[in-house]
Structure 1
Amino acid sequence: MSNNSDPLFDRYAEMDFSDAKPVAEIPALAKLQAEHGGKSRITMRVDNDTLAIFKARAEMSGGNYQTLMNEALRQFAQGITLADVVRETIRKELHQA
């Protein structure tokens, strides 16, 4: 398995992007990113053990640790607790059964 958790990594790993331009230099792409981007690049310090947990969970699920961290922050900001997530998951599972 690749060290990179992005599922598309292997598909594009060998491509040459040396002549690629930043999105900001291509007006149509810059407009699309502004309209649909919705994310900001930040730098923050996280405890090593916390980061390791998110990376391990991402590895197990085949996802990206940054996406998992973003979802956890979103849930916290919205006041969603682990108990809420568990209840909702159980409801969905019982409804499907």
Structure 2
Amino acid sequence: MIYIVIMKEEYDFSQSIKNPYINKLKKQVTIRLEEDVVDYFRVLAEETGISYQSLINLYLQDCVRLQRKPSLEWMSNA
């Protein structure tokens, strides 16, 4: 069976609603990561079938959700 789709000349969008996900779009940034960090997420990507960039994003989203803060310990000059 062959279906032919005929487009209308005009469409009425007066009842349309704004995309609710527009504020959740991703923002492209440049970030420098150490090689071992990238390697770690690439191995996870191979195991899970999810891209390493997506895995890094998922991990960071989890940090935001749980309000995780990095443990910073500075060496003293003593």
> How does the TM-score come out when normalised to structure 1?
0.44
- Report how many residues are paired: 50
Pair 1:70 & 2:25 matched: no
Choose between structure 1 and 2 for higher RCO, CA contacts under 8 A separated by at least 6 residues: 1
1:58 matched to which residue of 2?
Answer: 45
Structure 2 unaligned segments of length 5 or more: list them.
Answer: 1-18, 69-78
Among all aligned residue pairs of Structure 1 and Structure 2, give the percentage whose two residues are the same amino acid.
Answer: 27
More helix per residue: 1 or 2?
1
For 1:78, what is the secondary structure of its paired residue?
A: helix
Structure 1 segments of 4+ aligned residues over 6 angstroms from their partners: none
Superposition RMSD on alpha carbons, in Å? Answer: 2.5
For 2:33, what is the secondary structure of its paired residue?
A: coil
1:35 matched to which residue of 2?
Answer: 22
> How does the TM-score come out when normalised to structure 2?
0.53
What does the per-residue CA deviation read over 1:5-24, in whole Å, with 9 as the maximum and x for residues that have no partner? xxxxxxxxxxxxxxxxxxxx
Structure 1 unaligned segments of length 5 or more: list them.
Answer: 1-31, 82-97
